[in-house]
Structure 1
């Protein structure tokens, strides 16, 4: 008992196939754009100047140590 695939089946199959391909391409492009944006953010971060230790004011009763 064989059944044949009707023209209505092929029409729906073609429609669903192209719809799935379109969704796949759109999602792939979206994820690529997001990945590139994330990568660009990491490489173009503004550099933070290194923090320096606060300068200690020397007082009259303190003699600086001399190390050779």
Structure 2
């Protein structure tokens, strides 16, 4: 026994489909705006103060003797 899809069903389906698509677009735009605002806020913050880098002393290279793998 099959059920037929009535015009009332298709009307409600179309309304819900359009409402869902509209809500998705609105939420996507809102989240994009929120992300852009957060990125702009981070870009305007001052970077944390780090101590100045001191150069490392020069170390002469050591020449290692090569030991044969097999005796």
Shorter-chain TM range is 0.5 to 0.7
Moved over 4 A (4+): 46-50
Number of residue pairs aligned between Structure 1 and Structure 2 = 50
RMSD: 2.0
TM-score, scaled to structure 1 = 0.65
User: Unaligned 5+ residue runs, structure 2?
Assistant: 51-71
State the match for 1:23 in structure 2.
23
SS in 2 for 1:3: coil
User: Unaligned 5+ residue runs, structure 1?
Assistant: 51-68
